[in-house]
Amino acid sequence: MNTLIVACPSCKTKNKMVAIKQHRNPRCGKCGISLPMAGYAVPVALTDQDASQVIREADLPLMLDFYSPSCGPCRTLAPIIDKMAHQFFSRVIIAKIDTSLNQLSAGKYGIRGVPTLIFFKNGQVVDQIIGALPEDALIAKLNNFIRT
């Protein structure tokens, strides 16, 4: 899993955390204040080693982007996924997984082409979208995903 570094606005300590921790009300390791995550949110980069556990234990709805670095539409979608991590922070866990390196997970979820977006609630697949989609369509989809 990827990590991120969040500077404490109070004591200036740079807090390093694994990406899933950003969704668990992180506190500064030194002074203990609740860290404001605005501006820091990133997609959680999953691997075959941690994907099942993260999906199973997610306490928010989770969207997982199955992508490959060699796929053009995936590269088009990537900055939109990054943006969604900010826009839907604390409402949806935005995650991604590189299928070229994590073929077990791709197989487990029956991924036949990339990009594929899979939507999970309580560890269960509730929807999926195959292929890239424009930003406004993805925002509408995520808003609907939260509501239903």
Residue 19 Cβ, how far from Zn ion at the closest point, in Å? 20
What pairs with residue 98 in β-bridges?
67
- Report CA dihedral (53, 127, 67, 76) to the nearest 10 degrees: -140
Contact mark string toward Zn ion, 26..55, x via CB under 5 A: --x-xx------------------------
- Tell the burial category of 116 from Cβ atoms under 10 Å away from its Cβ (0-12, 13-18, 19+): buried
The residue range among 9-17, 75-83, 121-129, 130-138 that interacts with Zn ion, by the rule CB under 5 A, is 9-17
> For the residues of 64-113, what is the DSSP string, one character each?
EEEE-TT-HHHHHHHHHHHHHHHHTTTT-EEEEEETTT-HHHHHHTT--S
In angstroms, the CA 135 to CA 35 distance is 28
Query: For residue 139, which of 90, 86, 102, 67 has the smallest C-alpha distance?
Result: 86
Q: Which of 2, 3, 11, 101 is in the footprint of Zn ion by CB under 5 A?
A: 11
Residue 20 Cβ, how far from Zn ion at the closest point, in Å? 21
The residue range among 3-11, 100-108, 111-119, 130-138 that interacts with Zn ion, by the rule CB under 5 A, is 3-11
By beta-carbon proximity to Zn ion, the closer residue of 31 and 104 is 31
* 6 touches Zn ion by CB under 5 A: no
* 104 touches Zn ion by CB under 5 A: no
Q: Which residues are catalytic?
A: 71, 74
By beta-carbon proximity to Zn ion, the closer residue of 31 and 126 is 31
* 146 touches Zn ion by CB under 5 A: no
Residues in contact with Zn ion by CB under 5 A are 8, 10-11, 13, 28, 30-31
